[in-house]
């Protein structure tokens, strides 16, 4: 059962991403409804109206107001009356304003509790950038097969904490929420909105995609040609915050050494370059369950503990372990002969 | 040798810190501090009066724009330095209808719910040397008709049915700007303290009272 969590994760990621694309169109539809002037819409706008009407009709009776139930993006949004904000948004806004605004801080509470329980789960399960970054690493594999050079450099994992600290310091100094400009999920949520909804003002210079789109594309290129999933692992300020919060997370993936056969497929598949084979999960693990899905002997399981287990030695189904056992047995036999 | 070790360590740590500021510098480079005339850009209703405070409170989530029924709220997408991702309203393109949705949805302090009368996006000001009725070039009154606040915000000059006059109940929503048929836009939203209404005393009194 647990093996299928990775498929569930992809379903969740896809739903979140599709929602981010749908919400700007839903907003357009609502503006057309509010205008009460279907006949005055341009042909393309009529098309948007018709499609959105078809899609939302089964779920709402009064679309102009009922569709307000889900608004926003993963940076901050309302979800059936619940206001949810990214903990990074809360932290960096508090730094930028040098003050605590409790109504806003409370919106970050539910994600914060979930992060304390599940660690970096946001990075693996929800983040709309992860959806594109994982497709991007598949593209890297494809390019590699085609013979192009893709980068897989290793930097220091602690670098992102420095990025987070400097982001907060710069936010406090300049008085603007600067982390929002370099945090991919925030960028994607708002850029999709800009691209879809603001492009109607095409007769002006502004409108359409903004600076964030360029930044995000450059991070994709960084991942392709410098380091696989490098942005998430070494640069992302949000990832840094979640890693810190998830240091004592309750639910973590652990290796069951008795079932492990040392095949190392988990290490190969781990997007974050961790070392499940040698029990090296640490703060970086985002509970994405890709290693669980790939494990041929079901040796990776969720366990409820606040600390990773130490390296348990080679897997008991593996050759190294069997050899060591045989040599032990022989040693015992030899000892028996001698006495 | 010890000093050299210290210097290389210090140099390296400075390099690492500089490298960590690179993403922010990169993002800053792509949103240069050039923008259209800011006079044309009003903050949404209920915004913090001090623009620096507004910028530090706004997290750039875009929620205000996403609930706006007339879609009047737009964003600094790639300009304005630290203003980037903050909302604005350009009343010449599309004006605010004072529906309060953006104030209600904003998660931060930047837009807070306040009564309609206390909204202060600015105050309309009429250029009487260009407005059609004021220069006796015809009858209009579009701004008076469209105003959502009615008599207390804009009305006609004494004993005249066409010449519009702004009163101090105006909250600066900009509906009059959007509707004005004159190509040079003789009606515009200015800061409350600097409008002609303020100069004539009414607006100033209004400010003192608040």
Interval B167-187 mean pLDDT: 89
DSSP string, A203-252: TSSS-SS-HHHHHHHHHHHHHHHT-TTHIIIII-HHHHHHHHHGGG-SEE
What value of ipTM does the predicted structure carry? Answer: 0.87
CA of A143 vs chain B CAs: smallest distance (Å)? 26
Q: Cα A30 from chain centroid?
A: 30
Q: Cα B210 from chain centroid?
A: 20
A29-38, A178-187, B196-205: the lowest-pLDDT one: B196-205
CA of B5 vs chain A CAs: smallest distance (Å)? 21
Residue pair B122/B203 in contact by the 8 Å Cβ criterion? no
| Average model confidence (pLDDT) across chain B | 86
Residue pair A312/A255 in contact by the 8 Å Cβ criterion? yes
Number of neighbours of residue A159 by Cβ within 10 angstroms = 17
Whole-number pLDDT of residue A201: 54
For the segment A16-64, what is each residue's pLDDT rounded down to a tens digit? 999 999 999 999 999 999 999 899 988 888 999 999 999 999 999 998 8
Residue B207 has pLDDT above 80, yes or no: no
Residue pair A298/A1 in contact by the 8 Å Cβ criterion? no
Residue B124 has pLDDT above 60, yes or no: yes
For the segment A114-151, what is each residue's pLDDT rounded down to a tens digit? 999 999 999 999 999 999 999 999 999 999 999 888 88
CA gap B54, A63 in Å, rounded: 32
Residue B158 has pLDDT above 90, yes or no: no
Residue A167 has pLDDT above 80, yes or no: yes
Whole-number pLDDT of residue B17: 92
> What are residue B75's phi and psi, to 5 degrees?
-130, 150
Interval A211-236 mean pLDDT: 92
Residue B82 has pLDDT above 90, yes or no: no
Q: Of A30, A17, A25, which is closest to residue A189 (Cα–Cα)? A: A17
Please state, in angstroms and as integers, the Cα–Cα distance from residue A201 to each residue in A41, A192, B60, B71, B91, following that order.
14, 15, 20, 10, 13
Quick check: B27 and A83 CB within 8 A? no
Quick check: A34 and B85 CB within 8 A? no
CA gap B42, A238 in Å, rounded: 31
Interval A301-319 mean pLDDT: 89
CA gap B91, B72 in Å, rounded: 8
Higher-pLDDT residue of A91, A196: A91
For A130, the token pair is 């992860």
Residue B206 has pLDDT above 50, yes or no: no
Longest dimension (CA), chain A: 102
Residue pair A271/A288 in contact by the 8 Å Cβ criterion? yes
Interval B139-151 mean pLDDT: 90
| Average model confidence (pLDDT) across chain A | 90
Residue pair A205/A199 in contact by the 8 Å Cβ criterion? no
Whole-number pLDDT of residue A280: 87
A224 and B CB contact within 8 Å = no
Residue B36 has pLDDT above 50, yes or no: yes
Residues of chain B positioned with their CB less than 8 A from the CB of A89: 59, 61
| Burial call B117-129: b when 16+ CB within 10 Å, e when fewer | eebbbbbbbbeee
A174 and B CB contact within 8 Å = yes
> What are residue B42's phi and psi, to 5 degrees?
-100, 150
- The minimal CB distance from A76 to the residues B19, B63, B77 is found for B63
Quick check: B61 and A89 CB within 8 A? yes
Interval B6-26 mean pLDDT: 92
Number of neighbours of residue B30 by Cβ within 10 angstroms = 18
B26 and A CB contact within 8 Å = yes
Per the DSSP assignment, residues forming a β-bridge with B164 are: B156
Confidence tier at B151 by pLDDT (50, 70, 90)? confident
Residue A240 has pLDDT above 90, yes or no: yes
Q: What is the CA radius of gyration of chain B?
A: 23
Kindly report the CA angle at B183 between B182 and B189, in degrees rounded to 5?
75
Q: What is the DSSP letter of B157?
A: P
A198 and B CB contact within 8 Å = yes
Residues shown for chain A: 339
Quick check: B77 and A93 CB within 8 A? no
Per the DSSP assignment, residues forming a β-bridge with A79 are: A70, A82
Tell me the pTM: 0.90
DSSP string, A257-299: TTT-----HHHHH-TT--BGGGTB-GGG-----HHHHH-TT--
Residue A237 has pLDDT above 90, yes or no: yes
Residue B11 has pLDDT above 60, yes or no: yes
Residues of chain B positioned with their CB less than 8 A from the CB of A70: none
Residue A111 has pLDDT above 90, yes or no: yes
Confidence tier at B35 by pLDDT (50, 70, 90)? low
CA of A42 vs chain B CAs: smallest distance (Å)? 16
Whole-number pLDDT of residue B208: 42
DSSP string, A149-201: --------TTHHHHHHHHHHHHHHHHTS-THHHH-HHHHHHHHHHHHHHGGG-
CA of B64 vs chain A CAs: smallest distance (Å)? 9
Choosing among A49, A77, A93, which should be mutated to test the B contact, i.e. which has the most B CBs within 10 A?
A93
Whole-number pLDDT of residue B37: 63
Interval B61-88 mean pLDDT: 90
CA gap B154, A335 in Å, rounded: 106
Residues of chain A positioned with their CB less than 8 A from the CB of B59: 75-76, 85, 89, 92-93, 177, 180
Whole-number pLDDT of residue A137: 92
Residue pair B86/B76 in contact by the 8 Å Cβ criterion? yes
Report the share of chain A in percent with pLDDT over 70: 97
For the CA atoms of A134, A140, A146, A151, the dihedral, rounded to the nearest 10 degrees, stands at -160
Confidence tier at B4 by pLDDT (50, 70, 90)? confident
Residue pair A335/A279 in contact by the 8 Å Cβ criterion? no
Interval A328-336 mean pLDDT: 83
Place of tokens 């004494």: B158
Q: What is the CA radius of gyration of chain A?
A: 24
């Amino acid at each position: 059962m647990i093996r299928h969590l990775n498929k569930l994760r992809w379903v969740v990621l896809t739903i979140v991403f599709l929602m981010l694309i749908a919400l700007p169109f839903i907003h357009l539809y609502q503006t057309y409804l509010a205008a009460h002037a279907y006949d005055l819409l341009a042909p393309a706008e009529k098309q948007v109206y018709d499609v959105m009407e078809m899609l939302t009709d089964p779920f709402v009776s009064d679309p102009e107001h009922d569709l307000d139930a889900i608004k926003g993006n993963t940076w901050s949004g309302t979800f059936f009356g619940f206001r949810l904000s990214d903990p990074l948004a809360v932290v960096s806004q508090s730094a930028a304003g040098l003050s605590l605004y409790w109504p806003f801080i409370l919106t970050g509470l539910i994600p914060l509790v979930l992060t304390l329980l599940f660690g970096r789960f946001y990075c693996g399960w929800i983040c709309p950038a992860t959806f594109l970054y994982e497709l991007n690493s598949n593209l890297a594999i494809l390019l590699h097969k085609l013979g192009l050079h893709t980068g897989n450099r290793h930097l220091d994992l602690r670098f992102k904490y420095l990025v987070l600290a400097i982001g907060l310091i710069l936010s406090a100094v300049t008085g603007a929420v600067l982390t929002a400009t370099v945090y991919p999920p925030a960028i994607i949520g708002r850029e999709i909105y800009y691209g879809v909804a603001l492009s109607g003002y095409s007769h002006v210079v502004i409108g359409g995609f903004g600076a964030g789109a360029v930044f995000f594309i450059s991070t994709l290129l960084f991942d392709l040609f410098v380091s696989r999933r490098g942005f998430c692992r070494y640069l992302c300020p949000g990832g840094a915050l979640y890693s810190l919060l998830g240091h004592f997370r309750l639910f973590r993936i652990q290796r069951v050494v008795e079932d492990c056969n040392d095949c190392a497929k988990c290490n190969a598949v781990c997007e974050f370059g961790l070392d499940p084979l040698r029990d090296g999960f640490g703060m970086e693990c985002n509970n994405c369950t890709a290693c669980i899905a790939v494990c041929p002997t079901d040796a990776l399981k969720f366990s409820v503990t606040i600390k990773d287990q130490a390296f348990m030695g080679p897997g008991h189904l593996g050759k190294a372990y069997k050899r060591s056992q045989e040599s032990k047995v022989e040693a015992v036999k030899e000892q028996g002969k001698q006495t | 040798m010890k000093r050299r070790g210290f210097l290389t360590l210090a140099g390296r740590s400075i390099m690492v810190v500089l490298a960590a500021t690179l993403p922010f510098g990169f993002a800053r480079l792509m949103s240069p501090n050039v923008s259209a005339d800011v006079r044309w850009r009003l903050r949404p209703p209920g915004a913090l009066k001090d623009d620096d405070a507004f910028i530090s409170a706004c997290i750039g989530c875009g929620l205000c724009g996403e609930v706006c029924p007339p879609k009047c709220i737009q964003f600094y997408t790639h300009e304005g330095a630290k203003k980037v991702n903050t909302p604005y309203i350009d009343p010449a393109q599309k004006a605010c209808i004072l529906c309060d949705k953006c104030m209600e949805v904003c998660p931060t302090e930047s837009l807070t719910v306040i009564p309609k009368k206390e909204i202060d996006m600015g105050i309309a000001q009429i250029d009487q040397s260009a407005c059609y009725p004021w220069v006796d070039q015809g009858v209009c009154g579009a701004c008076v008709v469209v105003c959502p606040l009615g008599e207390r915000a804009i009305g006609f000059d004494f004993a005249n049915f066409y010449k519009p006059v702004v009163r101090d109940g105006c909250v600066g929503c900009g509906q009059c700007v959007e509707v004005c048929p004159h190509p040079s836009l003789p009606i515009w939203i200015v800061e409350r303290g600097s409008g002609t209404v303020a100069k004539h005393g009414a607006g100033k009194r209004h400010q003192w009272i608040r």
